[in-house]
Structure 1
Amino acid sequence: MQALAVALTLVAMIVATIFLTVAKVWWFAPLASNWGSLDTLIVITFAVTGLALVGVNLFIAYSVYYHRAQKGRKAVFFVDNPRLEWGLIAATTVGIVVLLGPGLYYYAQLIRPPQNHMVVEVLTQQWLWSYRYPGKDGILGPASIKRFTPANQFGLDPQAPASQDDIPVLGGPLALPVGQPVLLRMRSNDVLHSFYVPEFRVKWDVVPGMVTELWFTPTKTGEFQVICAELCGVGHYSMVGKVVVMEPDAFQKWLSERPTVAQIFSLQVRH
C-alpha cells in the first residue's frame, strides 16, 4: 500500500503541474515590446522540461509500484545496459539542442540593434535608476567613474563638446517614444545591478567597470515598472523606477523641456 500511495502521489503531482501550466496561473505580463519571440523561447523550454518532468516522474511512479518489495521476490543486479545508456545520452542531447538552438538564435538578435536605433545611457547605483540622453548631435559625451561627485553622478566632463547638449535625468523616469528601437548602454557606479522590465521581456545585468548593452522597441504607450533583478544590498527591494512610453511628438516635447549638461553646470557655477 505504501508503494501505491507514493506512485499515486507522484501522478497527482504531475496532473496538478500540468493543470497549473495550462491554466496559466503564473504567466507573463502583457507584452509591450518587440520581444514576443522570448515568450516563444520560454514556451519551448516549458515543453521540453515539462516532458522530462512528466517522463521521469511517471517512470519513478512505475518503478516504485512495479518493483515494490514482495515476499519471495529478489532484486536483480546488472552492471550496465549500453543500449539504455546510449538511449539516454541521445535523448538528453536532443533536449539540449532543442533548448540551446533557439536560445542562441534569439540571443544573436538581442545583441544586434537595428541601424535606426536611439541610444540612452542607464546609470545604476544603490538604489537609484538614472538616464542620459544624447542632445542634437546624437552623441553621448565621455563619462568616467573617476569624475564622480555628488554633483556629477554621471562622471561627465562638462567641458567636452559632445557632453554640452547631453540631457541627464537623475532618478528617472526613462521616457521613450513608442515604435522607436532603443539601445540601452548601462553602467554601474557601485555594485552589480540588473535592469528588468517584465512587459518588455528584457533583463540584463549592469556590471561595475564595464558597459553592457540591450535593445528593444516599445510597442505600447503607457507606464511600466523597471526593477532591479539582482540582489544589490539592503535597499534592493526599493530599487524601483518607471518607464514612460509616449507618442514621438510628446517625447520630443518632454526631452526639450529637460535641462542640458551645459545648463546644469552653468547653474551650479552661479550658485
Structure 2
Amino acid sequence: MAVALILVLVAVGSVAFHLWSPWWSTPIASNWGYIDDTINLTFWITGFVFVVILLFMAYCVLRFRTRPGNRAHYEPENKRLEWWLTGITAIGVAAMLAPGLVVWNQFITVPRDATEIEVVGQQWRWSYRLPGQDGRLGRSDVRHVSAENPLGVDPTDPQGQDDIILDGEDLRLPIDRPVRVLLRGIDVLHNFYVPEFRAKMDMIPGSITYFWFTPTRTGTFEALCAELCGVGHAAMRGRVVVQTQAEYQAWLVGQRTFAELGAAARRAQASAPPPERDRYEEASR
C-alpha cells in the first residue's frame, strides 16, 4: 500500500508542480514560437506517458500484491500485447520527431532578404561584425587575427573595408528584419545563446555555423555562452539590443568601419613613443 501510494503521489505531484511552477520559459522575442510549440508537444506526450506508467505500476503493486493462497502466473510472452506496445511507442516517437523535423527545416532555410551579421566568440567575450554600405561581409581568416584586427578580417578584401566592427560592445539589431547569424569561434568551442530568441548554435573553431531569426520585440536581451569554454565561461555574457528601424539607423551612422579602425590603429602606433630599448640605442649613438 505504501509503495502504491508513493507512486500515485509522485504522479500527482509532478503534474501539480508543472501547473503551479514558478519556472516558465522566458517571453519569446523572435519568430521561433515553433520551437516552444515543439517543446510543449514533446513535454505533454512524455508527461502523459510518465503519469500513465506510474499509475499502472501503482495498480499492479496493489492488485497483484502477495496474499495468502495466491500463486503467480507465468506467461513468457504475449504477441498481441507486444504488437500493441510496439505500435503505440512508434506512434508516440513519430509524434515527437515529426514536428522537430519541420521546425529544423524552417530553422536552416534562410529568407532571401535576411541581413548577414557575424558573431565571433573567444575566451571570454563576444565580438560582432555588421555589413557596411555594400550590404555584404568581407572575408575573414584566423590567420589575420591580431591586436589591431581581433576578428581576422582580410585586409586585402575590398568588401570588408566598410564592415562595422563591434569588439566587446553590444550587438544592435532592427526589429522585424530577418537576420542570418554567422557564428565563428577563434579559440575553443562556444555557443551563442539569447534565451528570448529561442535560437542557438555551437561555434566551432575552423568552421562557420549559422542560424536565423527575426526580432519581434524591442528591448535589451542578455547573450550567454551555452557551451563550457573554460574557467571564465560563466562571465562570458553580452547584450543584444533590438531597436526600431529609425533608432538602429541613427546608431549605425556613428559606428566606425574596419578601414577606419585600421587607420586609427596605424596613427596611434606611429605617434606612440619608441620602446625603451630603441630610446637607449638612439642615446648611445
Taking structure 1 as the reference length, the TM-score comes to 0.95
Among candidates 21, 25, 29, match of residue 28 of structure 1 = 25
What SS does the aligned partner of 1:124 have? strand
Q: Distance in 2 between matches of 1:153 and 1:89?
A: 55
Structure 2 match to 1:37: 34
Structure 2 match to 1:119: 116
Structure 2 match to 1:108: 105
Assess if the C-alpha contact under 8 Å between 2:173 and 2:240 holds in 1.
Answer: yes
Structure 1 match to 2:249: 252
Assess if the C-alpha contact under 8 Å between 1:158 and 1:265 holds in 2.
Answer: no
What SS does the aligned partner of 1:18 have? helix
Structure 2 match to 1:69: 66
1:205 and 2:202 correspond: yes
Among candidates 234, 248, 265, match of residue 262 of structure 2 = 265
1:6 and 2:3 correspond: yes
Q: Please report the RMSD computed on the Cα atoms of aligned residues, expressed in angstroms.
A: 1.2
Percent identity, please: 45
1:59 and 2:61 correspond: no
The structural deviation recorded for 1:151 is 2.5
Q: Distance in 2 between matches of 1:204 and 1:184?
A: 10
Assess if the C-alpha contact under 8 Å between 2:148 and 2:262 holds in 1.
Answer: no
Among candidates 133, 138, 147, match of residue 136 of structure 1 = 133
Q: Distance in 2 between matches of 1:141 and 1:13?
A: 57
Taking structure 2 as the reference length, the TM-score comes to 0.91
Q: Distance in 1 between matches of 2:231 and 2:195?
A: 23
87-96 or 147-156, larger mean C-alpha shift: 147-156
- AA aligned to 1:254 is W
Q: Distance in 2 between matches of 1:95 and 1:179?
A: 36
What SS does the aligned partner of 1:60 have? helix
- AA aligned to 2:174 is P
CA distance 1:189–1:67, change in 2 (3 Å): same
What SS does the aligned partner of 1:245 have? strand
Structure 1 match to 2:273: none
Structure 1 match to 2:185: 188
1:229 and 2:195 correspond: no
- AA aligned to 1:65 is L
What SS does the aligned partner of 2:81 have? helix
The structural deviation recorded for 1:25 is 2.7
Q: Distance in 1 between matches of 2:249 and 2:77?
A: 70
Q: Distance in 2 between matches of 1:136 and 1:125?
A: 27
What SS does the aligned partner of 2:22 have? coil
Structure 2 match to 1:165: 162
Structure 2 match to 1:86: 83
Among candidates 87, 90, 95, match of residue 92 of structure 2 = 95
- Equivalent pairs counted in the alignment come to 268
Assess if the C-alpha contact under 8 Å between 1:145 and 1:155 holds in 2.
Answer: yes
- AA aligned to 2:101 is L
- AA aligned to 1:34 is N
What SS does the aligned partner of 1:204 have? strand
Structure possessing the higher radius of gyration over alpha carbons = 2
Moved over 4 A (4+): none
The structural deviation recorded for 1:72 is 3.0
Q: Distance in 2 between matches of 1:202 and 1:224?
A: 13
The structural deviation recorded for 1:157 is 1.5
Gaps of 5+ in 2: 270-285
What SS does the aligned partner of 2:255 have? coil
Among candidates 142, 145, 149, match of residue 148 of structure 1 = 145
Gaps of 5+ in 1: none
The structural deviation recorded for 1:24 is 4.5
- AA aligned to 2:94 is V
What SS does the aligned partner of 2:139 have? coil
- AA aligned to 1:199 is E
- AA aligned to 1:77 is Y
Q: Distance in 2 between matches of 1:74 and 1:148?
A: 77
